[in-house]
Structure 1
């Protein structure tokens, strides 16, 4: 039986509206609503976490707040995890993911990214004095976060070092705090992820833990953005560059990673600048 033409037309309009609601120009929507929804982690010290006063703070929090301020809009913080930060961008639940996310080509198939706004690398954290080099972890259990590049990187490292059980020896958890708890309890010999996250957690127990070995990956962080939305991507990129130019980025960086902080991590590269 044929459907009446008006029903077909109505269906087309509904589908078009739904598509526009999800994939419409983000910049226009943000400017219209005067709100930018940012996906931010909650237990990634010192990137984004709850402090002793139950305040949601951190480097990524300050970066997101500054972007919103310069765009003249209000920031709506949306909690995300390693598993949800990309999906929320795809589903239109957030406008940007400021969530210590490494820009990888595989991820770029699903969402777009800003220019690199933070530079890190992967290391291994262990109890002090137990290990001297990466090869000492062969045959040992190492914690990491499920579904992350860290998980893949540490498996590849153990494989290259000749660990026949490299798959089984990488124990994956949902949260950074769970990895740290496993390390403290001795359930794993090490925890591997981006070095600044490791430094953040190690600072909670001064003198008990140390980073072992050199960097074994390059982790350039980008802000996750909706696919094929150049106006919004440009707005975020230009804002990051302006923050670098006027010194605001450095102020935020030093607040969380400066030499006087528990998370001291020298800034060795600069944000990509366009003339």
Structure 2
């Protein structure tokens, strides 16, 4: 790579957020490097990842869409907020023009971005840890049901309870680690995310291919049938399995408005 197209990337892991500072040229040849760093930072699951663009020269504005792709495919699914410090006015206009600000919070300064992280979030988020060796799935179902009731999502509560039950059951049966359960109502979607300490991705085994009869633990067969979509992603020291359900319109509208406002 020519020296004049180099991009150096600093990473500062703090208590409030991880700050990524790319210094140099953002071009076709360097966009992949920045994307890899962002995914690695998000995998550590901080409260937010802030990218300070103030010292980055953009040669290929079209590649700025990379931030929206990262936010939609990884940050949204792990609950990690991805925020941008726009830098010079030209960069701010490029982000607005390309509708990137619809998916990523954009702020004029680093201080403004950090202030946003400190503000209480209007997006609904609850979490619970299920300890390995403690097969208390009834309390997990109650936890999900209570969250759905509080968020006026009773119409999808049964599906949410069943999906969470199966994801946690898979962790206890196969990963043998703690299960971190997170429910997140955001942008017209109720996201159910369960992380564990086993990096091996889960396998969807159709019922007609099961090696033995089942009375429980239909796992991803049920998740696949009920969720709008689901997936898995590697995280630090393990994996994350997530499933998305369509949220009722009234609460979804509130969450979407809060998300667009960066709250």
Fold match (TM-score > 0.5): no
Larger radius of gyration: 1
Specify which structure has the higher proportion of strand: 2
Q: TM-score, normalised by structure 2?
A: 0.24
Greater helix share, 1 or 2?
2
- The structure, 1 or 2, with the larger RCO (C-alpha pairs under 8 Å, 6+ apart) is 1
